[in-house]
Structure 1
Amino acid sequence: MRKRSLSAAAFSALLSASLLVAQPLAAEPAGFPEFSLQATDAEPVLLGSAATIHSRILDEDRTFLMRVPPKAKKSSEAPVDLTVIYILDAEKHFASAAASAAFFEASRISSLGPAVVVGIVSTDRTRDFTPTASNARRDGSIDEKAALLGGGADKFLEFLTTELRDAAEKRLPAGTRVVRRMLIGHSYGGLFTLHALLTHPERFDAYAALDPSLWWDQGKLAEFARQHGAAGAQSLAKPPQLYTAFASKPRKENTFHLSEGKRFQEETAVTLDKEGIRTQVRFFPDEVHGTVAPPAIFDALKVLFPAGNVQKPSPQ
């Protein structure tokens, strides 16, 4: 696999000078090349690494990006506790997540601690992220001439929490242990994140659904969430947390989306809170759908992992 580089522009809103002094990653296993941001007149500032695995579940090769915090690579008698953040659409959002994690893991205002970021590069978002096959338009009307699309979310979730998780976490340095896992998705990825929470709340300790496409299939997932909540959440020893973000800058074509966001806050969040899922709903009045992800990723880590909220180790 050939070495790749990220443009510095990917960090525009989040990358500060403090992040540019990161230590280069230790040598990765064979076949796991560096994924880096090239610095001018200096050694590369390493953002992470890239690898490709073959998925039997999806019957295709999938590429993922991985950022390992410097602290995880330092030898120590005590194990280093890690949060592993899985983020969808890595080709767009990995840089924002890696920069945000680097900021908060070194901050006194956060309990995040050393954080690994695993980003999954997308191949077919509609297929992988939508829970049902549909030919409905955004306004809810049916396109009778269109073929049904999507519906592969369950299969993708199985891949994500078995094959990909195993491949990524086996690459963690010795002397580390995973104490919590988080899933972040935007748009269709946000829809998928909610689907994962509602059907398998036990698979992650925190979920962040950013401007989720609640309109999909005439809003069936949103209605399911209002009526049924998360399956089995009340039986969990420690139910997960949920963070949701909605881009609320007024736009003519955004009316339905905003109404669904407010309904999510007023109805769905109440249902989930009753099941023990602490739910945060945030609106971003200066952002549109295409710009909300970077600030929302940063905000999600700030809100979900405040100072003093130290996580006890969870079963591997």
Structure 2
Amino acid sequence: MKKLILILIHLTIAYFLKAQPPQQPIVLGRIDTVYSNILKENRPLWVYTPGYDTNYFSKPEFPVLYVLDADDHFMSLVTMIKELSATAGNTVLPQMIIVGVLNTPGHRTRDFTPTNSTMDKSSGGGENFAAFMEKELIPYIDKTYPAAPYRTMIGHSLGGLTAINMLLKHTQVFNAYVAIDPSMFYDNDNLLKQANAILKQKSFDGKKLFLGFANTMPTGTDTLQVKKDTSEISHHIRSIMKLADNLAANKTNKLLWVKKYYPDDDHNSVPFNAEYDALRFIFKNNRFPGNQPYNQYFNKQYSAAQLRQMIDEHYKAVSTERGYTVRPPEADMNGIGYAFLQQKDYEKATMFFQVNIDNYPKNFNVYDSMGDCFLARDDKANAEKYFKKALSIKYTKEIMDKLDKVQAGK
């Protein structure tokens, strides 16, 4: 369970460069395993964790995204989220841990069906799978990885049915749910028939749902005509549309949800586009600062005080929305502080370093950075004060040498 193995098969893309030895892998995550006492089996996982440097910065916390059918969706989600959360300063999405839940041989239907159907004797293990997720998998991830208390679940097809079952019957487990072309027709619409009553009776305050569905209608049929259709081929999309009608009819349960129909996608092509739209919906308020026409932090129309107010207000709002304290990224604040220090904009450099002191007061580096700022301003008294504070938390020769030079020059 504790053994983590770098993914070299399935999760790597081998590529060759002239200056490098052959077959150097790009590592997208790790293979992990958790034993389930509920399911009586080892459950394989693929896990991606954003990189972070604890030599200088505090250990961060990341929202966690759980995706079913990991062999189909994990790699595309890793690249998508890295692109939109880190590449070129993107903050469209937060950086997050991605937990890919793989199926065990022959057990997908068992795990992803909430009721037993006469069509498949192996079906109906969905409640056990839900218990595994809640009582075994999530506690393990929370203990093993730097997980923040904000969880999103993505499921497609029968996995989407599982996501809806979790939303309706195990609402508290996740903060956000993504159901992509869910198989709501399963077992003669069994879960669908329960949905309206549950949506009426239950509060979903603070929960989000993205419902995406593909064009699985008979050729020549539109979304109005298909509701009157009774053929088996349209049962899948009709059941999803009925779920959407139920969701729309219950406006007082506080569920924040959206639906999106993808007319140009079929059941198998819809996941990628729907995952992108779902994550943009769930984390729509994450982006900060603005990057058009250029990075807001470096827009000279804003004073240091105005920027500090914007930072405080943004992260307070995001914290309220997610239900836990979301702090400005320490490494980003530090890097921007040094950028202003190089420009000799000492007021803004001081402000960014102070943001880190206020949010990460137990880390030595925040005080070392402020010491550098005062040293650049030739304020040796304050430089000495902050270098001493940094050393009181963690001794490093580099900071000690700076302190010695400051004291020798007094």
**TM-score, normalising length from structure 1?**
0.77
Q: Partners of 1:196 and 1:49 in 2: how far apart?
A: 26
Instruction: State the 1:165 CA deviation.
Output: 1.7
Identical aligned residues as a percent: 29
Instruction: State the 1:30 CA deviation.
Output: 6.7
Give the counterpart of 2:206 among 220, 234, 239: 239
Instruction: State the 1:104 CA deviation.
Output: 2.4
Instruction: State the 1:218 CA deviation.
Output: 0.7
Q: Partners of 1:231 and 1:78 in 2: how far apart?
A: 43
Q: Partners of 1:76 and 1:160 in 2: how far apart?
A: 34
Q: How does 1:1-316 map to 2 (within 5 A)?
A: 31-35=3-7, 36-41=11-16, 42=20, 43-71=24-52, 73-75=53-55, 77-78=57-58, 80-106=60-86, 112-123=93-104, 124-135=107-118, 146=119, 148-172=121-145, 176-229=146-199, 232-234=202-204, 238-248=205-215, 250-251=217-218, 254-271=233-250, 273-308=251-286, 310-312=318-320, 314=323
Instruction: State the 1:74 CA deviation.
Output: 4.5
Instruction: State the 1:231 CA deviation.
Output: 6.5
Which residue is 2:356 aligned to?
Answer: none
Deviations 1:85-134 (A, max 9, x none): 00101111111221222122237775531100001111211110111001
Q: Partners of 1:230 and 1:189 in 2: how far apart?
A: 24
Q: Which has the higher contact order (CA 8 A, sep 6+)?
A: 1
Please identify which structure carries the higher helix content: 2
RMSD: 2.6
Deviations 1:13-36 (A, max 9, x none): xxxxxxxxxxxxxxxx97211114
DSSP 3-state at the match of 1:39: strand
DSSP 3-state at the match of 1:287: coil
Say if 1:239 and 1:276, in contact at 8 Å, map to a contact too.
yes
Larger mean CA deviation between 251-260 and 114-123 belongs to 251-260
Q: Partners of 1:302 and 1:254 in 2: how far apart?
A: 31
Instruction: State the 1:287 CA deviation.
Output: 0.9
Q: Residues 268 and 232 from structure 1, CA distance in 2 versus in 1: closer, same or farther, beyond 3 angstroms?
A: closer
DSSP 3-state at the match of 1:100: helix
Q: Partners of 2:3 and 2:214 in 1: how far apart?
A: 39
**TM-score, normalising length from structure 2?**
0.60
Please identify which structure carries the higher strand content: 1
Larger mean CA deviation between 183-192 and 301-310 belongs to 301-310
Q: Partners of 2:116 and 2:61 in 1: how far apart?
A: 40
Q: Residues 55 and 132 from structure 1, CA distance in 2 versus in 1: closer, same or farther, beyond 3 angstroms?
A: same
Q: Residues 286 and 217 from structure 1, CA distance in 2 versus in 1: closer, same or farther, beyond 3 angstroms?
A: same
User: Which residues of structure 1 form unaligned runs of 5+?
Assistant: 1-28, 136-145
Highest CA radius of gyration, 1 or 2? Answer: 2
Q: Residues 97 and 133 from structure 1, CA distance in 2 versus in 1: closer, same or farther, beyond 3 angstroms?
A: same
Residue identity opposite 2:272 in structure 1: P
Aligned pair count reads 270
Instruction: State the 1:274 CA deviation.
Output: 2.2
User: Which residues of structure 2 form unaligned runs of 5+?
Assistant: 220-231, 287-316, 326-410
Q: Partners of 1:230 and 1:105 in 2: how far apart?
A: 36
Q: Residues 257 and 166 from structure 1, CA distance in 2 versus in 1: closer, same or farther, beyond 3 angstroms?
A: same
